[in-house]
Amino acid sequence: MKQDSLYRQPRKQVVDFAFDDAVVDVFPDMIRRSVPGYETLISLLAVLGYKYAQAGSTIYDLGCSLGASTLSLYQQVQPLDVRYIAIDNAPAMVEQCRKNLKKHMPGSQHEVLCQDIQHSPIENASIVVINFTLQFLPLEQRHTLLKKIYAGLLPGGCLLLSEKIRFNDVHKQSLVTDWHHAFKRANHYSDMEISQKRAALEHVLIPETPESHQQRLYNSGFKQVEQWFQCFSFVSFIAIKA
């Protein structure tokens, strides 16, 4: 696995973070060293998701990056006749994701689309995963996307939504940020890498409180919403369509 050293050297100006070739090369290393609990979350979301998979339906992975969620779901859902659609708008991610799914999901019905998820049709879905991606959409677009997902889900289907969150309580926010930085240091990121990455993400990744997420999910039509995972400021919700 290629090591992420993108922010190791001092930069005169830290430009906004982009999912380009350089990021794709180091992405598996970057996400494991930056998102506490990532591997656990990826495995467990498939264990949960499996209960909602329906034969003849489609499973969507929105903001799929290299396809980790799709691959994890495939391992659980495999015996069922389902179709997988993984979508990302970064061409470098899509190219690598296609190779990954082709290699690890032989014979399955799958497509990897290079699209903005805001414009992708969602139809006949039993499971929709949007893992650490809603946070990159403009705030005012998020409700529209969730309503579209709700409309595209079959009755009994579910949305699995994972996000980095923020807290209204400033003391809690500063405590959890401190833990996150400690996690990154323990994973051998230097203070300079941590602060440069933080600056690069500042205008790109806009976190919200868990209450805002839950309220938006209910407002989008979901009748049951549960936060099933949390590790520091990284959480995952399951929202079920009755």
- The residues binding ligand GEK (CB under 6 A) are 19, 31, 63-65, 68-69, 87-90, 93, 116-118, 131-133, 136-137
Residue 223: CB minimum distance to ligand GEK, A: 25
Pick between residue 134 and residue 217 the one whose CB is nearest to ligand GEK: 134
At 89, is the secondary structure helix, strand, or coil?
A: coil
Residue 124: CB minimum distance to ligand GEK, A: 20
Residue 131: CB minimum distance to ligand GEK, A: 4
What is the DSSP pairing of strand 234-240 with strand 153-164? antiparallel
Whose CB is nearest to ligand GEK? Answer: 63
Of 241, 242, 236, 191, nearest to 48 by C-alpha is 236
Alpha helices in 12-118 (DSSP H): 21-34, 38-50, 68-77, 91-104
Residue reference for tokens 């339906």: 57
Residue 215: CB minimum distance to ligand GEK, A: 22
Distance CA 135, CA 129 (A): 14
Pick between residue 99 and residue 223 the one whose CB is nearest to ligand GEK: 99
Residue 110: CB minimum distance to ligand GEK, A: 15
- Exposed/middle/buried for 9, CB within 10 Å: 0-12, 13-18, 19+? exposed
Pick between residue 119 and residue 223 the one whose CB is nearest to ligand GEK: 119
In DSSP terms, which residues pair with 137 in a beta bridge?
Answer: none
DSSP string, 132-181: S-GGGS-GGGHHHHHHHHHHHEEEEEEEEEEEEB--SSHHHHHHHHHHHH
Residue 64: CB minimum distance to ligand GEK, A: 6
Q: What are phi and psi of 239, to 5 degrees?
A: -125, 125
Residue 91: CB minimum distance to ligand GEK, A: 9
- Exposed/middle/buried for 52, CB within 10 Å: 0-12, 13-18, 19+? buried
What angle, rounded to 10 degrees, do the helices at 210-219 and 142-152 form? Answer: 50
